[in-house]
């Protein structure tokens, strides 16, 4: 797993599903556009201390983490751990945000933008 990250460190995808499994996964894109897992962290809960520990473990195990240019995330707290990195929202959370905003009265209700 470290080898994948060492070869493709520019874009890091971070997945931490809420209210499901407490599995925090780090992934990279390979040259074929496929995601390759570079670390999994099984956590006790989703508190920020556990997320911080998973991120610190990732950084310790992958010294080339400083080469990361962009991170696709779904949690705001991750941005503080990668300060010089452009944060990109996960498309699932972006769609949820847009649906929530479009359902407000000022936009005449939900829209079929799927």
From first to last of its 114 residues, the chain has per-residue pLDDT tens of 667 777 766 777 777 666 666 788 888 887 787 788 888 988 887 677 777 888 889 889 988 888 888 887 765 556 677 777 777 766 666 777 777 777 876 666 555 454
> Phi/psi at 63 (nearest 5 deg)?
-60, -20
CA dihedral 31, 32, 38, 42 (to 10 degrees): 160
CATH of the domain at 27: 3.30.420
| Residues ≥6 apart with Cβ < 8 Å to 14 | 24, 25, 26, 27, 71, 72, 73, 74, 75, 78
| Residue 26 structural domain | 2-107
In a domain, 113, yes or no: no
pLDDT of 9 reads 66
Instruction: Please state the domain count of the chain.
Output: 1
The span from the CA of 62 to the CA of 5, in Å, is 8
Q: Residue 52 in contact with residue 61, Cβ under 8 Å?
A: no
In a domain, 81, yes or no: yes
């Amino acid at each position: 797993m470290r080898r994948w990250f060492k070869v493709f460190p520019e874009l890091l995808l971070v997945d931490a599903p809420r209210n499901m499994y407490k599995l925090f996964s780090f992934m990279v894109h390979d040259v074929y556009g496929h995601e390759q897992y570079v670390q999994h962290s099984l956590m006790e809960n989703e508190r920020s201390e556990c997320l911080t520990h998973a991120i610190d473990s990732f950084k310790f195990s992958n010294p080339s983490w400083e080469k990361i240019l962009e991170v696709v995330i779904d949690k705001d707290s991750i941005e503080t751990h990668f300060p010089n990195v452009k944060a990109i929202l996960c498309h699932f959370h972006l769609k949820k945000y847009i649906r929530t905003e479009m359902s407000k009265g000022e936009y005449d209700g939900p829209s079929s933008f799927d």
